[in-house]
Structure 1
Amino acid sequence: MEGASIESLMGLLFFLILCSAFFSSSETGMMSLNRYRLRHLVKNKHRGAIKANKLLKRPDRLIGVILIGNNFVNILASAIATIIAVKIWGQGGIFIATAALTLVILIFAEVSPKTVAALHPEKIAFPAAYILQPLLKILYPLVWVVNLITNSLLKLFGIKVTNGENHHLSTEELRTLVNESGAVLQQRNQSMLLGVLELDDVTVTDIMIPRNEVGGIDMDNDLEEIIDQLSKTPHTRMPVYRGELNKVVGILHMRNLAQVFRQKTVTKAAILQVIHEPYFVPESTPLQTQLLNFQQENRRIALVVDEYGDIQGIVTLEDILEEIVGEMSLNGKEDNQDIYPQSDGSYFIDGTANIRDVNKSLNWSLPTDGPKTINGLVMEILEAIPDANICMLIGDYQIETLQVCDNQIKTIRAMKHASEYEEEEE
């Protein structure tokens, strides 16, 4: 080394700095790889991804070989820089070499390569895997000794290296991932994925048609009235009951009703012969569970009952699918028949409107953990049925009752107020 020329030493020093940059960028690139994209590339037989994935299965060995190589070239570069400095400036050149090499390594072998690797991990990690894999085999005895010592030290602190990190996403993390992927996914696809993820958070009582809005066939009515109702109904399936909905006897499918109309005489007995057995579900059933139940039971409509067995409403397969794909009827959420926009920015809202539907239509966040309708929400907060029109504030929303009758709030006026944070931003 002493007999070598300064030019050859400078060339060797330059090579060692490049090696240091390689190890530094490899470490950052490997650790910055998106594990889910990596698995996708492995399934597609990407050679660089396969090698990188194999190395990442034992991160202790990967880090070991990288740091051994990085420290070796940095120490050797320091020694060579010192020799060059002594040859040029004498003993005082040691301090110059230390300061200069520190700056060079920091800029060209640490910060710059690591920044590039963090921004483009695949472009750095996949080619590096071709070098690191054989290098690990060559240095394996040394890596094994270093890992044995470090892993034993980590065990003293209760850290098990072989367990690895759990890369499974929770529902909330997956929801955040979908929300953040707006530039990759189309808005409709993004909404559908979010709809699927929310199925477990929503129960059938949140989307059911409430009891007072259920259109069914009362067999206690006159036959002419029943036939007139059947001829005008827009529904394909209807509950059949006697006197009240709690005395349901079955579900009538309009397709089966055609068999009755083919007969010369239409009777109540003939209608009862073509009905199906009613299907009951608890009101607390999550939508995801109910969707699977519909599939297993080969059903499309269910009667929702409370803990006392009283029927609270009906839920259909279409209702659940609308939670995923959006409104399937002609009137979409932009055309909600319960919401009437006003020129002053407020909205007239029907008291029976579902809070979740209002939130979806107006992009609001009225509370949904209690009552399901606007009428129920206002009366829960007031703890009484108002005798006259009143105005109140629910979160960021000003609610004014406009029409109260029959122990119900029929219509309200609602308007959103800007929060303090939004006002400061403006």
Structure 2
Amino acid sequence: MSELWFEIAVVLALVVVNGALAMAEMALVSAKKARLQAQAESHAGARAALRLIAEPGRYLSTIQVGITLIGMLAGAFSGATIAERVAVWLRPMAPVAAYADALAIGGVVVAITFVSLVAGELVPKRIALAHAETLAIALARPFEWAVRALGPVARVLDWTSDALLRLMGIRRRDAVPVTEEEIDLMLKEGAAAGAFEHKERELVKNVFRLGDREVGQIMTPRTEVVFLDLAEDVAVNLKRIADSPHTRFPVIDGDPENVIGIVAVKEIAAQSFAGRPVDLRAALRPPFFVPETTSALALIELFRTHRSQMALAVDEYGVIQGVATLGDILETVVGAVPASDGKSEQPMLTRRGDGSWLVDGMLPVDELKELLAVKALPGEQLGFRTLAGFVMARLGRVPAAADAFAWANFRFEVVDMDGKRIDKVLIVPPPPARKGTTTP
């Protein structure tokens, strides 16, 4: 009987080793690389884990070799030794004597399989998922020694696996870097779990948009820009400043196509406080021009380099199309902010009670696609950047109020025009499907 208990102890020990291998595998597979990198400077285990993760073929082959050897040893002990001893114990029992060998083998196989699955696979992997980085760091160094010891065997298995994959037309891919979509998904999950505020997720999402949006999408269009004109009386220019919430203005000298500088309200105020007459020309700063195709993210660095807070956006012909400021970039990230006069801009999107949306014509294309839950819009190759551009592209002309069209089950209706500019568009989504009906 003592030999039986010894053999059972050996099998249990093999199950424990199998569990350690399964735990190491799951910990290394599920550990967050960024968390390991954060601890790599001060922890040798983290560095070892990163080395293993960099070559997954080596450690996966080593684990498979170990698990296979353990399975063979456990099978040998359970089939050839433990089952035989259990059969000897069952044979004196008259009711089962005739089936002693079969019952012994079946019972031992079922028992060891159950213990192996629970204690050797499921429980270790659940623990590894719950404490991936901690276990990866703890197990990485001893596991590296095992990888070195079984290196030749693991390499042969790795090469064989690669050869078979190539025959199947499957190529090994390098690790894919984290994408914006994955980061947004992690933030979404974190917000749902309470680790992040939903507003924090929106801010991060909007920061990513800076790299995708062009200056032409965030600028104030030329038709809405307030210009100061040196050819006009000072009182006229001062009234324009007083009637506007802006703190910086582009300045022309009679010719609207020739901006000669930028003036800040504080410079004019400084002249007034000093008792000097207002002189716009003396307060001028050189104008700063950027292509309208410049990304909003690049514009931030250009503002820093040129020590400016206002840029004039020009098209490929050098014609001014609008003005972009640091405030426009801020609004791209945080949304509409109150102007200096305390008035807030109207929101780009207004949800109505019937489920439709009243949308500003200047809504950027990326936000429009997000609203419609589509990946692309027809005619994007034409280069439109806003909802107004999309509407004009679909209609093929400058629309009038009440013009409408349908696309992808959405109805678009021009509600308001500001001259030739589309001011507001009503977007009516498709009606929800009724319960019990199916779409053809």
Partner of 1:336: 346
Other-structure match for 1:8: 6
Verify: 1:356 aligned to 2:350, yes or no: no
Within a 5 Å distance, the mapping from 1:2-401 to structure 2 comes to: 5-43=3-41, 45=42, 49=46, 52-81=49-78, 82-89=80-87, 99-110=106-117, 113-121=120-128, 123=131, 126=134, 133-134=141-142, 137=145, 140-141=148-149, 143-153=150-160, 156=163, 165-166=174-175, 168-182=177-191, 183=193, 184-262=195-273, 266=277, 270-329=279-338, 336=346, 344-346=354-356, 348=358, 353-356=361-364, 359=367, 363=371, 369=380, 370-386=383-399, 389-401=402-414
Q: Provide Cα deviations, 1:133-188, integer angstroms capped at 9, x if missing partner.
A: 447647844x13313433454565698xxx99425323443344334432322222
Q: Please list the CA deviations of residues 359-400 of structure 1 after superposition, one character each: whole Å capped at 9, or x if unmatched.
A: 58x955695945445544333211124567333224343223
* Cα displacement (A) at 1:310: 0.4
3-state SS, counterpart of residue 316 of structure 2: coil
- Structure 1 residues 110 and 296 mapped into 2: Cα distance closer, same or farther (>3 Å)? farther
Question: 1:125 deviation in Å?
Answer: 7.4
Please state how far the C-alpha of 1:276 moved relative to its aligned partner.
0.5
RMSD across aligned positions (CA): 4.1
Q: Hey, what's the Cα distance between the residues in 2 that align with 1:128 and 1:234?
A: 57
Question: Do 2:413 and 2:425's aligned partners in 1 also have CA atoms closer than 8 Å?
Answer: yes
Query: 2: distance between equivalents of 1:388 and 1:125?
Result: 60
TM-score, with structure 1 as normaliser: 0.79
Shift of residue 12, structure 1, vs aligned partner: 2.6
Cα deviation, 1:320-360, whole Å, max 9, x if unaligned, reads 1222233332699997266666554445556xx31239958
CA distance change for structure 1 residues 155 and 11 in 2, over 3 Å: closer, same or farther? closer
Aligned partner of 2:262: which letter?
I
342 and 34 in structure 1: CA distance in 2 versus 1, 3 angstrom threshold? closer
How far apart, CA to CA, are the structure 1 residues paired with 2:242 and 2:319?
A: 29
Unaligned runs of 5+ residues in structure 1 are: none
User: Could you say if the C-alpha distance between residues 324 and 94 of structure 1 is closer, same or farther in structure 2, counting changes exceeding 3 Å?
Assistant: farther
Q: Deviations over 1:43-84 (max 9, x none)?
A: 5x4676455445445545534543444333322222222222
Which stretch shifts more, 65-74 or 126-135? 126-135
Relative to structure 1, is the Cα distance of residues 26 and 105 closer, same or farther in structure 2, using a 3 angstrom cutoff?
farther
Aligned residue for 2:256, secondary structure, equals strand
Letter in 1 for 2:227: G
**Measured at CA, do residues 128 and 37 of structure 1 come closer, stay the same or move farther in structure 2, by a change above 3 Å?**
closer
Whether the aligned pair in 2 keeps the contact of 1:29 and 1:114 (CA below 8 Å) is no
Q: Which amino acid aligns with 2:37?
A: R
The CA distance in 1 between the partners of 2:415 and 2:23, in whole Å, is 67
Does structure 1 conserve the Cα–Cα contact (< 8 Å) formed by 2:250 and 2:261? yes
Change (3 A) 1:399 1:112: farther
Label 1:38 to 1:164 Cα distance change in 2 as closer, same or farther (>3 A): farther
Q: Report how far residue 42 of structure 1 moved.
A: 3.6
Distance 1:112 1:234 in 2: 70
Aligned counterpart, 2:96:
none
Q: In the alignment, residue 10 of structure 2 is paired with which amino acid?
A: L
8 Å contact kept, 2:15–2:120: no
| Cα distance, 1:10–1:400 mapped onto 2, change above 3 Å | closer
Matched position secondary structure for 1:292: helix
Aligned residue for 1:303, secondary structure, equals: strand
Amino acid at match of 2:33: R
- Label 1:144 to 1:379 Cα distance change in 2 as closer, same or farther (>3 A): closer
Asked whether the 8 Å contact 2:362–2:388 carries over to 1, the reply is no
Q: TM-score, normalised by structure 2?
A: 0.77
Q: Give the secondary structure class of the aligned counterpart of 2:318.
A: coil
| Residues in 2 aligned to 1:136 and 1:224: alpha-carbon distance in whole angstroms | 80
The 2-side partners of 1:328 and 1:390 are apart by 32
Once the two structures are overlaid, the 10-residue window that deviates more, 131-140 or 229-238, is 131-140
Displacement of 1:425: 9.9
Contact kept, 8 Å, 1:389 with 1:402, in 2: the verdict is yes
Q: Mean alpha-carbon deviation: is it higher for 240-249 or for 307-316?
A: 240-249
Greater displacement, 339-348 / 257-266: 339-348
Mapped to 2, the partners of 1:187 and 1:32 lie a distance apart of: 26
Say whether the 8 Å CA contact 1:398–1:415 is kept in structure 2: yes
Unaligned ranges ≥5, structure 2: 92-98, 167-171
Letter in 1 for 2:208: L
